[in-house]
Amino acid sequence: MTLAIQLSSQPAESIAAEALLLPLHEGFATSDASQGASSPLLSKLDALLGNALIEHLKLHKPFKGKLGDASAIPTYGKLQAPYIIAVGLGKKEDLNAKALRRSVAAGIRAAMRLKLASVALAFESANSPELDDASSARLLAEGAILGAYQFDTLKGNAAKTGPNAYGGLKTLHIIAPEAQHATLQPGIQLGEIIAQATCTARDWVFDSANNVTPTYLAEQALQIEGLQCTVLGPDEIQQLGMGAFWQVAKGSIEPPKLIHLSYKPSEKAASGNSEPIKTIAIVGKGVTFDSGGLSLKPAGAMELMKMDMAGAAAAISTMGAIARLAGTPQAVKHRVEAFIPACENMPSGHAGRPGDVITAMNGKTIEINNTDAEGRLILADALTYAQKQCNPDELIDLATLTGACVIALGKEAAAIMGTPKVSQPLIDALLASAERAGEYLWPLPIYDEYKDCLKSPVADLINSGAKGEAGSSKGGVFLQAFVDKSRAWAHLDIAGPAYTGKDWPEVPKGATGYGVRTLLYYLLNLA
Ligand code: BES
Ligand code: ZN
Ligand code: ZN
């Protein structure tokens, strides 16, 4: 069950919905049109309510029209909809993609607090070159579905509600003249696909580690229709010489899986390309539970480590969205290959020990001085494998790799890094995509000198350097040892924003689905 978004040409005042969203900029109550603050819909609704609407909004001080504000006003039978929900758009001059997404999400969440089943919103053109009507429609759909998200599948009444049940909210009507529907519909559909993929990633990250095992992730990948999917198990992982991956996986009774999902654009989709078709490989860290292994984490640090597969969730779910878009005019025009090393990091009699030296798939030997720096080990072999399998033009990995990244950038932002120079165009493009997608991403350096921290007295590399010194970049420099020097590669450390205590209208707290939107905006080259 998902929030349905329907186009309608009913007038706002007579549409059969339980609430009408009324987007307002800061300073909405001024009558000075030159400030661009007044809204024709506000004037119309105010008249219908006998001038009580503006009066109410003025009296209700917390509502200032700031981005994220929302205030519900009963209409006492003066309107078909029992409520108007005023939503803040922020300053008129700041109107952008984020403002559209966030404002509608705030309105949807206000409707959910009132336990409403349907809301309506009159579409308005943004009058901005960056925001054409189809993009605005897409952003409204994204914001509505992202904001409506609730994770309730583990509650006792799950059978009644089901996954992604969105409380009781069933429908968002977007009101626009019939003539506009053909322009808005593809935007809405794209927004739905992007947001639903984000919500699917959220579901997997929220769900507990006893449910979301490597086998479960593999099953989810195999269920994606229209893509080729191969899953390798423990025997194949060892036969391929993935000593680094196996070293992490072997301590758990859950069998590890190496998941490979493959998308090739149809000739029709590819022919729409202005540039030659690229092969883009995505690698996602899939540690379904990170206890730290024998270098055991303290209880507090372990509590949320079911989220250590957020990179895998983003990668698989992005592939799911790509599959849904295949065959539509909005299909991805590049070849995309996803590789997900999935395993648990557990202590046991079979577990890898601190001090063990293992050989990775690329032949390099690694001394493991800390079994809790496991993400870089499984990624090392997955990166080697990805490059061997498809020789990608671009290689992008997403991983909840270091606690240091949370210290550096907080829960708000992920870090991006890559081989200096060769990766810069890819990094710049991903930074721009993240900005448009409404996800915070910020660069960290990989200096040559950081390589010193990888020196081991006994092996080619050591898996963890000095604590408290540029931990995220040190994770990056370790991964770099497994990426061809000339390859465009970007590493996204998503340890902070993958799971957050912050509550943003379009990103309810908990699992965020971080990365899905940035990846899709990049792959679809969305404005
Ligand atoms: N999964 C953790 C990183 C993490 C921490 C993710 C907090 C999300 C929130 C990772 O495997 C880890 O334990 N990293 C170590 C690396 C260190 C031993 C070099 C860390 O950050 O302490
Ligand atoms: Zn760890
Ligand atoms: Zn980890």
pLDDT above 50 for 131: yes
Query: Residue 375: CB within 6 Å of ligand 1?
Result: yes
pLDDT above 80 for 443: yes
Task: Kindly indicate the confidence band of residue 36, based on its pLDDT and cuts at 50, 70 and 90.
Answer: very low
Taking only the tens place, the pLDDT of each residue in 244-263 is: 999 999 999 999 999 999 99
| Among 309, 346, 371, 372, residue to substitute to test ligand 1 (most atoms within 8 Å of Cβ) | 372
Query: pLDDT value at position 136?
Result: 97
Atom 22 of ligand 1 has which residue's CA nearest to it? 403
Residue 475 alpha carbon to ligand 1 centre in Å? 10
Atom 5 of ligand 1 has which residue's CA nearest to it? 403
Query: Residue 495: CB within 6 Å of ligand 1?
Result: yes
Given the structure tokens 């996986």, which residue do they identify?
Answer: 249
Query: pLDDT value at position 161?
Result: 54
Taking only the tens place, the pLDDT of each residue in 468-497 is: 999 999 999 999 999 999 999 999 999 999
Residue 498 alpha carbon to ligand 2 centre in Å? 15
| Among 296, 376, 402, residue to substitute to test ligand 1 (most atoms within 8 Å of Cβ) | 402
Residues 6+ apart with CB under 8 A from 294: 251, 347, 351, 352, 353, 354, 371
156 vs 390, higher pLDDT: 390
Task: Kindly indicate the confidence band of residue 60, based on its pLDDT and cuts at 50, 70 and 90.
Answer: confident
**CA neighbor of 522 nearest in space, from 354, 328, 322:** 322
CA distance 509 to 500: 5
Query: pLDDT value at position 153?
Result: 85
Given the structure tokens 């001394």, which residue do they identify?
Answer: 367
Query: pLDDT value at position 297?
Result: 98
Query: Residue 308: CB within 6 Å of ligand 1?
Result: yes
Taking only the tens place, the pLDDT of each residue in 274-303 is: 777 999 999 999 999 999 999 999 999 999
Residues 6+ apart with CB under 8 A from 179: none
Calculate the dihedral angle through the C-alpha atoms of 312, 318, 319, 325, rounding to the nearest 10 degrees. Answer: 170
String of DSSP letters for 163-201:
TT--TT--EEEEE--GGGHHHHHHHHHHHHHHHHHHHHH
Backbone φ and ψ for 498, nearest 5 degrees, come out as: -65, -30
pLDDT above 70 for 100: yes
Atom 8 of ligand 1 has which residue's CA nearest to it? 495
Query: Residue 370: CB within 6 Å of ligand 1?
Result: yes
Task: Kindly indicate the confidence band of residue 430, based on its pLDDT and cuts at 50, 70 and 90.
Answer: very high
* pLDDT > 90 fraction of the chain, expressed in percent and rounded: 88
Pick from 24-33, 85-94, 508-517: least confident? 24-33
- What average pLDDT does the chain have? 94
From the CA of 498, give the closest atom in ligand 1.
8
CA distance 144 to 102: 9
Query: Residue 402: CB within 6 Å of ligand 1?
Result: yes
Q: Per-residue pLDDT averaged across 239-245, rounded?
A: 98
Tell me the whole-structure pTM to 2 decimals: 0.96
Query: Residue 406: CB within 6 Å of ligand 1?
Result: yes
Query: pLDDT value at position 419?
Result: 96
Query: Residue 372: CB within 6 Å of ligand 1?
Result: yes
Task: Kindly indicate the confidence band of residue 31, based on its pLDDT and cuts at 50, 70 and 90.
Answer: low
pLDDT above 80 for 350: yes
30 vs 99, higher pLDDT: 99
- Ligand 3 is an ion; its neighbours by CB within 5 Å are 287, 290, 308, 375
Query: pLDDT value at position 28?
Result: 86
* pLDDT > 70 fraction of the chain, expressed in percent and rounded: 96
pLDDT above 70 for 235: yes
CA distance 480 to 495: 18
Query: Residue 374: CB within 6 Å of ligand 1?
Result: yes
Query: pLDDT value at position 409?
Result: 98
Residues noted as catalytic: 297, 376
Burial status of residue 115 (CB atoms within 10 A of its CB: 0-12, 13-18, 19 or more): exposed
From the CA of 307, give the closest atom in ligand 1.
8
From the CA of 474, give the closest atom in ligand 1.
19
Residue 389 alpha carbon to ligand 2 centre in Å? 27
Q: Per-residue pLDDT averaged across 36-62, rounded?
A: 87
Atom 18 of ligand 1 has which residue's CA nearest to it? 373
Atom 13 of ligand 1 has which residue's CA nearest to it? 372
